[in-house]
Structure 1
Amino acid sequence: MRIAHDMHARRVAGPIGRTGSPRPGVLLAALIALVFGFVAVPAQAESAYAAYLDLPSVNGDGAGGGGLNPALPLDPEELRGALDQARAAGVAPQRYATLLHQYWLTVATRNADIDLGAWDPARGVPANSRTFVQVYVNYLRLNNEHPDFYWVGLAGLAGGSFASGFFDMGDVANIVSVPGVHQLGGAVADLLRGTPAELLNLLPADIKTLGTEGERLTAEDLIWYQTRLMIMQKHIFIDQVPMHEAYAAAGLAGVEEMYRAGVLDQNAVTAWREIDHGDAAGLADAALRMTDREQNQIIADQWDVTSSGRGVMGRVMTYVSTVAGKAAVPGVLAPGVFAPTTITAGGMSLRTPLPDFNWADRDTRWNYITHDLLPRYLELSANQPIARPILAEPFTDKLASGRLLRRLPDLLGDLTAQWQLTT
């Protein structure tokens, strides 16, 4: 600016009077140039961030491509520059909340080796397959670099079972017979035909629907379900990973700023204060708080939409995911073992290996998480010599071990052998 001003001053100096002094008009022009030269500095500084203030987060639910608002850049360095200027100008954090969130989101995707601009669930499974896996790889990376980040470790282990199911569906989505789900539905239908009406009427609706509708599932239904899973996965990442990266880079001050901006609520910032304190009870409570945020704040409504979609097929697919799902956490029970369906009527009793709940239903999902999945994970985390090798195992190995099609013969065998009717 000084160089530009000096050059401008030389250009407007104009003719020199006979006495060697500039004419009065020239002096006035130089004075105006001097004043406006200095005024331009804050105007230019403001322009770098003013357009990014008061922006809503229009893609925070993960349904669309890219970041939180299309008006924001995807380059973390550019975002950081605007953010620093807004801070220096004393702008209230609430006004730059989406800018702040987008900055840490771009840091998160860069560190996760994910192309945020190309991350769009609507583009379909082939375009998102690498990103789908990379999300879980990154959860485990974060936990291995920061063992006190309990939630990301749980997300990496528990997410493996859902990722396996996602790719099982990808294997069969291109053929009309979708054999895995059809075989499971057919086996249940056969067992229902031999069940007395008194007991049949008491069975959970999801079991009956699987038996009556499972064989009608189409490839289009599965593709729709995969897209729903991709949306929820991105929503969780958008919410959870930026605050982990903020703490990793800036400590408690980083997440406290997100709290002041309104990006995080009291529950979330309390979890980070407990992590920062570092005692065992606090770390366990932080894991519970973050899991509660994930399951009951972030994706609860999206599970509701998913389970009620595609007619009855939303219930069929979410229930099949429950039947087949078992997180790769040592000691955790499969849903059908944790809560098997058992009914009694008129002196008869039926016990099935099928779970009496659907993962998509928030209350029973939370019961399973808090009474089996999370306690087993916290036991693992409390014993780091055992936890580290498990959490350091390549995610591709976890993915392979959870594939439904590989486990389907055993699953069908258990279903047939453990469907026990007594009178």
Structure 2
Amino acid sequence: MVCLAICAVCTFVVPTTATAGPDPSAYLDVAEANRDGTAAGGVDPALPLDRAILESALGAARASGADPRRYASLLRQYWLVVGAENAHIDLAGWDPSRGLAANLETVNDVYVNYLRLTNKHPELCWSGMAGLAGVSFAAGFYDLGDASAIFSVPGVHQLGSAAADLIRGVPPEVVGRLPEDLRLLATEGPRVTSADLDWYIGRLLAMQKHIFMDMVPMHEAYSALGREGIDEFARAGLLDDNIARAWQSIFDGTRQGNADALVRMASREQNQIIADQWDATSGGRGVMGRVMTYLTTVAGKPAVPGTRAPGVYAPIDVPLGDPVVSPRLHAPLPDFNWADREPRWRYISEDLAPSYTRMVEERPDKAAALLRIPFADQMAGGRLVPRLPDLLHDLTSTWELDPAPAR
């Protein structure tokens, strides 16, 4: 989806012994009631948000000889607080349920921090891709809150009505072959309410925080302590096989390793961290979850150079009759919904991630310059309002009919 303010980042050395500290037993075996980030605060309300207290408790837990798995939540919370401080985010106030206005500054800070990490450690390709993709994501949040944008209630109604007009011009026998989500946009888009949009924004905000809470602690541990930091996450049972292999690929120190880690970390993000949340979002509020997730698929285009818009990557392409011999209808609108697991992952693994890898490998100077562009400047270019004429043009005037193949 940055004036990337590159702050001087200190090295966080957490003592491995403690001469005097808190009783660590209060912070062992914490259940992580807020692991998915839907509420304010950190991974669990039982854990403090004060970095000094967490550092002391973590040192005491290590010194006690406790199994690292018992203080895994404390370890994650400590590095989460470090990450939030580096991102200038107030964890106590970061509550997705409060809506967009209360979280808009945090939306930006999340992606500025991802770019900060990759500028400090270029091998951290996932954070770089997440920061650039966040340009579009953050722009989408601003559009969702902007009355002049297409994601305002009148804008959604306008897009739904335009889709309805187009579908009325399609032969009835072909309408059933069009993507169901496009048909839903035509029939239900004009009925979207402000409450629907507020609900959807809240879902996106929760997913953003969930990703940050999962991925940032291990990235901060790596940034501060290198392999030692990741090894402690492993001892605490916080790394499954996929993410452990991702970090090993980074430790290998090769281009191929960095590319492998990018795909593995992107898979963790999309197929593990927020997969269930996307499922619940697309199935929420009756059919409106499908309408709004398809809307953001139509309008989305990650700001990673070379990445195609979803409707260019997988456009609508349906036969008017017999699939082999009949003419075909083409439209540069997506034949998939970003909320669905398999097509979302195909798009990321086949288009988005390879585009980022090509950029950093083939044009490293250009990539470095792009990653240092102020975030606010990048996001302004990703806003939907300046792109709206092209989007509506695609929707309303670039449907094409290919003739039947010659026999």
What is the TM-score of this pair, normalised by structure 2? Answer: 0.90
Which structure carries more relative contact order (alpha carbon 8 Å, separation 6+)? 2
| Counterpart residue number, 1:124 | 99
Q: How does 1:38-57 map to 2 (within 5 A)?
A: 47-57=22-32
Q: How does 1:250-399 map to 2 (within 5 A)?
A: 250-346=225-321, 347-382=326-361, 383-399=363-379
1:209, 1:173 → 2: CA distance? 23
1:101, 1:288 → 2: CA distance? 23
| Counterpart residue number, 2:58 | 83
CA contact (8 A) 1:173 1:223 kept: no
Q: 1:245 aligns with which of 220, 225, 231?
A: 220
Quick one: which amino acid aligns to residue 97 of structure 1?
Answer: A
CA contact (8 A) 2:278 2:340 kept: yes
| Counterpart residue number, 1:224 | 199
Quick one: which amino acid aligns to residue 99 of structure 2?
Answer: G
Q: 2:175 aligns with which of 200, 224, 233?
A: 200
Q: Classify the secondary structure of the residue corresponding to 2:146.
A: helix
CA contact (8 A) 2:100 2:141 kept: no
Cα deviation, residue 164, structure 1: 1.2
Q: How does 1:26-37 map to 2 (within 5 A)?
A: none
2:271, 2:47 → 1: CA distance? 29
| Counterpart residue number, 1:92 | 67
Distance of aligned partners of 1:335 and 1:175 in 2 relative to their CA distance in 1, 3 Å threshold: closer
Task: Answer yes or no: is 1:413 the counterpart of 2:388.
Answer: no
| Counterpart residue number, 2:153 | 178
- Which 4+ residue blocks in structure 1 deviate beyond 6 angstroms? 173-177
Distance of aligned partners of 1:73 and 1:338 in 2 relative to their CA distance in 1, 3 Å threshold: same
- Count of aligned pairs: 380
CA contact (8 A) 1:164 1:400 kept: yes
Runs (5+) with no aligned partner, structure 1: 1-43
CA contact (8 A) 1:177 1:218 kept: no
Quick one: which amino acid aligns to residue 224 of structure 2?
Answer: A
CA contact (8 A) 1:67 1:74 kept: yes
| Counterpart residue number, 1:26 | none
Identity fraction in percent: 58
Once the two structures are superposed, residues 53-111 of structure 1 have per-residue CA deviations (whole angstroms, 9 ceiling, x without a partner) of 11111111011110111111101111111111111111110110100000000000001
Once the two structures are superposed, residues 116-163 of structure 1 have per-residue CA deviations (whole angstroms, 9 ceiling, x without a partner) of 111111112111111011101111111111111100000011122121
Task: Answer yes or no: is 1:58 the counterpart of 2:33.
Answer: yes
1:47, 1:336 → 2: CA distance? 56
Quick one: which amino acid aligns to residue 230 of structure 1?
Answer: L
1:48, 1:178 → 2: CA distance? 54
2:274, 2:151 → 1: CA distance? 30
CA contact (8 A) 2:143 2:149 kept: no
CA contact (8 A) 1:106 1:116 kept: yes
* Higher share in helix: 1
Task: Answer yes or no: is 1:148 the counterpart of 2:128.
Answer: no
| Counterpart residue number, 1:7 | none
Q: 1:168 aligns with which of 117, 131, 143?
A: 143
Cα deviation, residue 345, structure 1: 3.0
Cα deviation, residue 47, structure 1: 4.9
Distance of aligned partners of 1:53 and 1:362 in 2 relative to their CA distance in 1, 3 Å threshold: same
- Please give the root-mean-square deviation of Cα atoms over the aligned residues, in Å: 1.8
CA contact (8 A) 1:182 1:214 kept: yes
CA contact (8 A) 1:228 1:306 kept: yes
